[in-house]
A and B are shown apart, each in its own frame.
Chain A
Amino acid sequence: GENVEQHPSTLSVQEGDSAVIKCTYSDSASNYFPWYKQELGKGPQLIIDIRSNVGEKKDQRIAVTLNKTAKHFSLHITETQPEDSAVYFCALYNYGQNFVFGPGTRLSVLP
């Protein structure tokens, strides 16, 4: 089945800096790519998503870019704040199948 690689597995940044997390996949039929944020002891929350007919989407300090040719998509967080510290998961969907999730990135924003 489809496999999603996510890098890095851990990321530490200084408050105010940017953070970038990248996911790569193999199935070119994948057409929907959400990103989730999971805080300790909580369930994942959808923070941004992108569909295959769009190359970039932005929501305030968060953006997602998609390169379908190279089969990778990335989460960009600018002006990071301590409350951005969490585990971030990428996921993808292929019509007729189910969501596949990456292994997660633990982001620490240092004050």
Chain B
Amino acid sequence: DGGITQSPKYLFRKEGQNVTLSCEQNLNHDAMYWYRQDPGQGLRLIYYSQIVNDFQKGDIAEGYSVSREKKESFPLTVTSAQKNPTAFYLCASSDRSADPQHFGDGTRLSIL
């Protein structure tokens, strides 16, 4: 089945630690996105990539980094500079930026 796989489902971060969230898609989509979801809020865009080896900052990029070395993969690193990382992180992909987005089932990040 085609889709988006996020791993792990749950992740814990210690103070001063960087953690990386995985996102893989087999939909052959060009565009990929990372969103942060906090309780009672809509999705906020962290980073997006419309093509391999290129990515752009979203609305809340500070404290995060990404890479897009392969079309099917778009990992997100939550760095120690992100002071409030506890949230539900969603990865999405679309054929083009104007097309409907397909979402993974998310990674819940918590602080130890």
Chain A interface (Cβ < 8 Å from any Cβ of B): 1, 4, 6, 9, 32, 34, 36, 41-46, 49, 89, 93, 95, 98-104
Contacts and interface: CB of A to CB of B under 8 A. Distances in A.
A44 B103 contact: yes
A43 B104 contact: yes
B45 A98 contact: yes
A4 B92 CA distance: 20
A54 B52 CA distance: 34
Given A43-B105, A45-B103, A95-B98, 10 more contacts: A34-B101, A41-B106, A43-B4, A43-B92, A44-B90, A46-B100, A49-B100, A89-B43, A98-B58, A99-B101
B84 interface: no
Given A34-B100, A44-B90, A98-B97, A104 B42 contact: yes
Nearest to A36: B103
Contact of B103 (A32, A41, A43, A93): A43
B58 A43 contact: no
Interface of B: 4, 6, 33, 40-43, 45, 48, 58-59, 90, 92, 97-98, 100-106
A43 B103 CA distance: 6
Nearest to B91: A43
Nearest to B48: A98
Contacts of B98: 32, 93, 95
A43 B106 contact: yes
Contacts of A93: 98
B8 to A, nearest CB: 13
Nearest to A96: B97
Contacts of A89: 42-43
A103 B42 contact: yes
B90 A4 contact: no
A102 B37 CA distance: 12
